[in-house]
Amino acid sequence: MSLEDVELEGLANAEAPHLITDLPGPNAQEVLDRDARVTSPSLPRVYEFVPKRGSGSVVEDVDGNIFLDLNAGIAVTSTGHCHPRVVEAIQEQAAELIHYSASDFFLPIYSEVAERLDEIAPMSGPVRSFLTNSGTEAVEAGMKLARWATGRQYIIAFYNSFHGRSYGSVSLTASKASYRAGFGPLLPGVLHAYYGDGRDMHMAPGSAEDGFPTIDYIEHFLFRKMVSPLEVAAIFVEPILGEGGYIVPPDGWLIALRDLCDRHGILLACDEVQCGMGRTGKMWAVEHMGVEPDILLAGKGIASGMPLGAMIAKGEKMTWTIGTHGSTYGGNAVSCAAALATIDVIREEHLLENAAKVGDVLLHGLRDLQERNERIREVRGLALMIGVELPDHHTMIAVEQAAFRRGLLALGCGESTIRMSPALVFREDQARAALGIFEGALADAENAGS
């Protein structure tokens, strides 16, 4: 073990948070000043955090301040920051071959990752995979495949969903108007419906034949007023809403959606870019819900921070022919090596079980806190995908900032939700520390508001 390994292991076990400067510190301020001059103003920075290094669920900034991380790089570093087995896999692959395009040649590690995805995919029968550089690219690939495989043009997505920000995927995204404003016209042939229990439906849903007014809305409004179901290629859905508020749909809803698709020959595409790779205590969120998708989209945590996504589809649906889709960098050798190591670590180090156990500590602790604090309206989630609903957007921002000032990295989502999505290696002692800090942040936000 090298000196750097020893130092990183020490960081993972360091007391966190531990702040030694004001925020931002002097070195961080230099970065902020430079950033303001030269980077795209489109980047939506949340708070003045300037990371330097990380290990496990602990991150140190450029001034030596130590933070406890509930973000995991926005649900990306699934095995924790700089897991030694992932780092080793990256280093070994980079020393051997960094890049050769798998779109035009037979990169061995590409098919090895696809084979591993076939083993863990939540679908019966063989699957095939197309590897991408990101989650949004996986969504784009899924949209193209759905149209190709069905010969149909329309796609349905859901209000409050987030599928990415490239042109096709942002046409599906409906979580914030700012993602779409100024970029129209967007991709034609995309319709939206209400998600889950229909909490955002601004109409009396009437009677629902299957018990879900949102499914009834698709069947008896969209399919009667807007588009024939025989022209719908796919329905794209997040099994648990991510950026839209960490909302878990009611039991049976995804099954009803699957049944709807089956009745009309529509493909069901499950976007697990955020809720997949063990975040919910199972490898895929749909495993909680008893549903098999036709297409599954992965990204974020699939390679512990290296850029990689995957569009995984049932073999009989992957009917497109040579040249219909490709990618120069998708399935890059170094990213693939990180993905193989990530899957091994999740399985062999029992991170699914850890996510369920530590997530239970967080959920119960937050619900106990809810009983003491009327500002918490709802606590929801599965394992290490937890949303804390607050009264309004202003309160969410205040709590998010107050947590940062206390050394806890948390992030808002939806209109008024704080999301908690730490790495799957998050420990019980860290969960209990986070609960105490979060309670303090709630108090800070309330005092600032008053």
Q: Pairing state of beta strands 309-314 and 295-298?
A: antiparallel
What Å distances lie between residue 277 and 134, 299, 345, 382, CA to CA? 14, 8, 11, 13
- Once rounded to an integer, what is the mean pLDDT over residues 268-284? 98
* pLDDT for residue 232 is more than 80: yes
In this structure, the answer to whether residues 255 and 314 fall within a common structural domain is yes
Cβ pair 328, 101 in contact under 8 A: yes
- Once rounded to an integer, what is the mean pLDDT over residues 273-294? 98
- pLDDT 10s digits, 391-449: 999 999 999 999 999 999 999 999 999 999 999 999 999 999 999 999 999 999 998 87
Higher pLDDT, 202 or 354: 354
> CATH number of the domain that 415 lies in?
3.90.1150.10
In this structure, the answer to whether residues 344 and 367 fall within a common structural domain is no
Single-letter amino acid code for the residue at 108: P
Tokens in use for 52? Answer: 């330097």
* Final residue in a domain of this structure, among 309, 325, 348: 348
In this structure, the answer to whether residues 67 and 93 fall within a common structural domain is no
- pLDDT 10s digits, 65-97: 999 999 999 999 999 999 999 999 999 999 999
Cβ pair 32, 48 in contact under 8 A: yes
| b/e code 90-115 from CB counts within 10 Å (16+ = b) | beebeeeeeeeebbeeebebbeebbe
In this structure, the answer to whether residues 370 and 316 fall within a common structural domain is no
In this structure, the answer to whether residues 127 and 182 fall within a common structural domain is yes
In this structure, the answer to whether residues 53 and 100 fall within a common structural domain is no
Cβ pair 175, 160 in contact under 8 A: yes
CB-neighbour burial class of residue 203 (10 A; exposed 0-12, middle 13-18, buried 19+)? exposed
CA nearest neighbour of 367 among 354, 381, 357, 385 = 381
Query: What integer pLDDT is reported at residue 8 of this predicted model?
Result: 67
Q: Domains in the chain: how many in total?
A: 2
- Residues near 182 by Cβ (< 8 Å), separated by ≥ 6? none
Q: Residue 111, SS3? A: helix
In this structure, the answer to whether residues 116 and 21 fall within a common structural domain is no
In this prediction, residue 3 has a pLDDT band, given cuts at 50, 70 and 90, of very low
Q: Identify the bridge partners of residue 67 per DSSP, sorted by sequence position.
A: 59
In this structure, the answer to whether residues 240 and 344 fall within a common structural domain is yes
Q: How far apart, in whole angstroms, are the C-alpha atoms of residue 321 and residue 301?
A: 29
Higher pLDDT, 206 or 31: 31
CA nearest neighbour of 232 among 146, 295, 344, 171 = 146
In this prediction, residue 207 has a pLDDT band, given cuts at 50, 70 and 90, of very low
- Once rounded to an integer, what is the mean pLDDT over residues 310-314? 98
Q: Residue 273, SS3? A: coil
> CATH number of the domain that 270 lies in?
3.40.640.10
Q: How far apart, in whole angstroms, are the C-alpha atoms of residue 261 and residue 27?
A: 54
3-state secondary structure 173-224: CCCCHHHCCCCCCCCCCEEEECCCCCCCCCCCCCCCCCCCHHHHHHHHHHHH
For every residue of 2-57, DSSP letters joined together read: -HHHHHHHHHHTS-S-B--S-SS-HHHHHHHHHHHHHS-TT----S---EEEEEBT
Q: How far apart, in whole angstroms, are the C-alpha atoms of residue 401 and residue 408?
A: 9
In this structure, the answer to whether residues 160 and 300 fall within a common structural domain is yes
Q: Identify the bridge partners of residue 136 per DSSP, sorted by sequence position.
A: none
CA nearest neighbour of 242 among 217, 269, 212, 272 = 272
* Final residue in a domain of this structure, among 332, 348, 364: 348
33 C-beta neighbours (distance < 10 Å), count: 9
Q: How far apart, in whole angstroms, are the C-alpha atoms of residue 61 and residue 52?
A: 5
In this structure, the answer to whether residues 239 and 277 fall within a common structural domain is yes
- Once rounded to an integer, what is the mean pLDDT over residues 113-141? 97
* pLDDT for residue 204 is more than 70: no
Tokens in use for 153? Answer: 């043009």
* Final residue in a domain of this structure, among 316, 348, 380: 348
Query: Which pTM value belongs to this model?
Result: 0.95
In this structure, the answer to whether residues 108 and 179 fall within a common structural domain is yes
Residue 372: half-sphere exposure toward Cβ, Cα within 13 Å: 12
Question: Domain span at residue 332?
Answer: 87-348
In this structure, the answer to whether residues 161 and 122 fall within a common structural domain is yes
